[in-house]
A and B are shown apart, each in its own frame.
Chain A
């Protein structure tokens, strides 16, 4: 994985283009410096040539060219430049100077090599009064390039330093700005990582920018969700522990009673009750487990193809002995397979809870009917009993975990309908309560058909 640093990225994005611009700028400024140096040198060359030319005069009918010292000394800039000159007549007769010095054509100055030195030289034509065919005299002055180059260097170097300083200062400001800009992120990191944070309290980062604010808000919202889920989990565990305490106390009391009882019959009775209690406790544990499995995210959602009729038949067969023992008429009404998609184990557990509830609240001699049908393209499972039913004002609450209908004497766990609802909703269905024809409760479960 390539780790990328925001600092390096931003630095690269700011400083590299800036450095590029600075390079272009340096290149142009070098050209400018060169042009400036050329111009200055050319003016000096022309000035020097003019000074020499003005000293050329007719003396005693002969053209005399005397070189004024100022014309040479003007090039003495401390760069040890050599100055060459050549004065000749229009006819090409050399009056003074270096005969092999090249001549610049026209008015333009040129660069040429002379005695293995690069030179810049200019030629000036000057009319001399009375010189006849010798006029105008041509004065050529050349100078080596040390002074010229030193000038270019000086002009260019200051520009170079300026550009470099600009880039460096820009880089420093980018880093400073980043440090300031990233400070809220750093403090967010520290706040999240802080060992003193035991709870998932919302993080507050004072001074966070509007760009970072959404990140903090999202993080806080996420933590809030996690916290809510953990809270629900914690409440559930506390409730579950609470629910287990009374049955455990019962179990221990029954065991103590049986241990102390000497009469065989009473002892037998206690042991039978003890067995029943441990069965109920096992059922409660099973329900708690089912509920924790039905919890979103606790189990990979399964999409089995389940025949509800077959599942219901299986559940009823298992529950039949309990129904017979209580003289309850337990029946199944079906018209062939009803296939749905869902978690098979959970759907079966849902039916177990519905039937178990119906049997629990039915009076001895009553009846419990499980019906399966396909209505309006939905699988419909109803479980009807002729027990006391649930008052309408309680119906919203009975699906809550551990909720028990007030005044109910039956020892339910308050989990059955909670399990039913969670399983049905996980399978994309819904569950409703109604009154049965016999005045008891009807639970109707609708699930999408497979």
Chain B
């Protein structure tokens, strides 16, 4: 799951990024409100974490601009201004949630999960496909009741396929979901990650099907015993 973090305090941005990556999110960081639109266009992020006090273009302005252009990406606003007025203003401008600094990372993560669940029209925190289960709270996969060990990239690939289970996910979409701006997208590497995940799913009742020219599809294997 790829997130965009917009925060001008570089240290806080770095450490928030690190902590979210720890939880298997793919995180891009920008420090400036003016870079947000460009970043979103390039990264197809599932969610934006937006600080309000930004140089050049303020967070509220960014939010207004995004909504004015019809971008419906979920936005969680972070701010040092915890006044009621500030919160209401943020929500009125189209923020989906609001978190005042200082916050506990657990709360930010819980709110991220809520927003992602809502964006994917899910209500249950657990997604299942055959005997493959993804708990969005712990952000861990399990296969037949056993924890499934995955590298961050493999995790990103499988998460993307899982969320769209039963539907085709293009190579480009997979690529956008797993690479951040720091790492240049390498479409050929996608095949390697898919291959590795496939191997880890061997012997289970789910499989990843390749549709040439279209992409990949995660589905329940009806033929398996």
Which A residues lie at the B interface, using CB under 8 A?
242-243, 245-246, 248-254, 256-257, 260-261, 270, 273, 277, 406-407, 409, 411
Q: Is B19 part of the contact surface with A, judged by Cβ < 8 Å?
A: yes
B104 touches A246 (CB 8 A): no
15 new A-B contacts, CB < 8 A, other than A253-B12, A260-B22, are A242-B81, A243-B80, A246-B12, A246-B80, A249-B78, A250-B15, A251-B102, A253-B15, A253-B105, A256-B19, A257-B18, A257-B22, A260-B19, A270-B18, A273-B11
How distant is the Cα of A325 from the Cα of B106 in the complex, in angstroms? Answer: 35
Which B residues lie at the A interface, using CB under 8 A?
9-12, 15-16, 18-19, 22, 55, 78, 80-82, 100-106
B102 touches A252 (CB 8 A): yes
How distant is the Cα of A407 from the Cα of B11 in the complex, in angstroms? Answer: 16
26 pairs of residues in contact across A and B, judged by CB atoms under 8 Å: A242-B81, A245-B80, A245-B82, A245-B101, A246-B9, A246-B12, A246-B101, A249-B12, A249-B101, A250-B11, A252-B103, A252-B104, A252-B105, A253-B12, A253-B16, A254-B15, A256-B105, A257-B18, A257-B105, A260-B19, A260-B22, A273-B11, A277-B11, A409-B10, A411-B9, A411-B11
What's the nearest-Cβ distance from chain B to residue A214, in Å?
Answer: 40
B55 touches A406 (CB 8 A): yes
For B102, the chain A residues whose CB sits under 8 A away are 245-246, 248-249, 251-252
Closest-by-CB residue of B relative to A269 is B18
For B103, the chain A residues whose CB sits under 8 A away are 249, 252
How distant is the Cα of A252 from the Cα of B18 in the complex, in angstroms? Answer: 13
Pair count A-B, CB < 8 A: 58
How distant is the Cα of A380 from the Cα of B105 in the complex, in angstroms? Answer: 49
For B104, the chain A residues whose CB sits under 8 A away are 252, 256
B105 touches A245 (CB 8 A): no
- A250 with B22: in contact, given A245-B101, A256-B104, A256-B105 (CB under 8 Å)? no
Closest-by-CB residue of A relative to B104 is A252
For A252, the chain B residues whose CB sits under 8 A away are 102-105
For B18, the chain A residues whose CB sits under 8 A away are 257, 270
How distant is the Cα of A250 from the Cα of B100 in the complex, in angstroms? Answer: 13
What's the nearest-Cβ distance from chain A to residue B192, in Å?
Answer: 24
For B106, the chain A residues whose CB sits under 8 A away are 256
What's the nearest-Cβ distance from chain B to residue A75, in Å?
Answer: 103
How distant is the Cα of A407 from the Cα of B57 in the complex, in angstroms? Answer: 12
Most buried by A among B9, B19, B55, B103: B19
What's the nearest-Cβ distance from chain B to residue A347, in Å?
Answer: 31
How distant is the Cα of A252 from the Cα of B19 in the complex, in angstroms? Answer: 11
B101 touches A248 (CB 8 A): yes
Closest-by-CB residue of B relative to A242 is B80
For A256, the chain B residues whose CB sits under 8 A away are 19, 104-106
What's the nearest-Cβ distance from chain B to residue A268, in Å?
Answer: 14
How distant is the Cα of A275 from the Cα of B7 in the complex, in angstroms? Answer: 22
What's the nearest-Cβ distance from chain B to residue A271, in Å?
Answer: 12
For A254, the chain B residues whose CB sits under 8 A away are 15
How distant is the Cα of A396 from the Cα of B47 in the complex, in angstroms? Answer: 40
How distant is the Cα of A138 from the Cα of B137 in the complex, in angstroms? Answer: 146
What's the nearest-Cβ distance from chain A to residue B53, in Å?
Answer: 8
What's the nearest-Cβ distance from chain A to residue B20, in Å?
Answer: 10
How distant is the Cα of A273 from the Cα of B12 in the complex, in angstroms? Answer: 11
A257 touches B100 (CB 8 A): no
For B15, the chain A residues whose CB sits under 8 A away are 250, 253-254, 257, 270, 273
Closest-by-CB residue of A relative to B16 is A253
What's the nearest-Cβ distance from chain B to residue A328, in Å?
Answer: 20
What's the nearest-Cβ distance from chain B to residue A175, in Å?
Answer: 55
How distant is the Cα of A250 from the Cα of B104 in the complex, in angstroms? Answer: 10
How distant is the Cα of A261 from the Cα of B21 in the complex, in angstroms? Answer: 11
Which listed residue, A243, A246, A261, A273, touches B22 by the CB 8 Å rule?
A: A261
What's the nearest-Cβ distance from chain B to residue A65, in Å?
Answer: 121
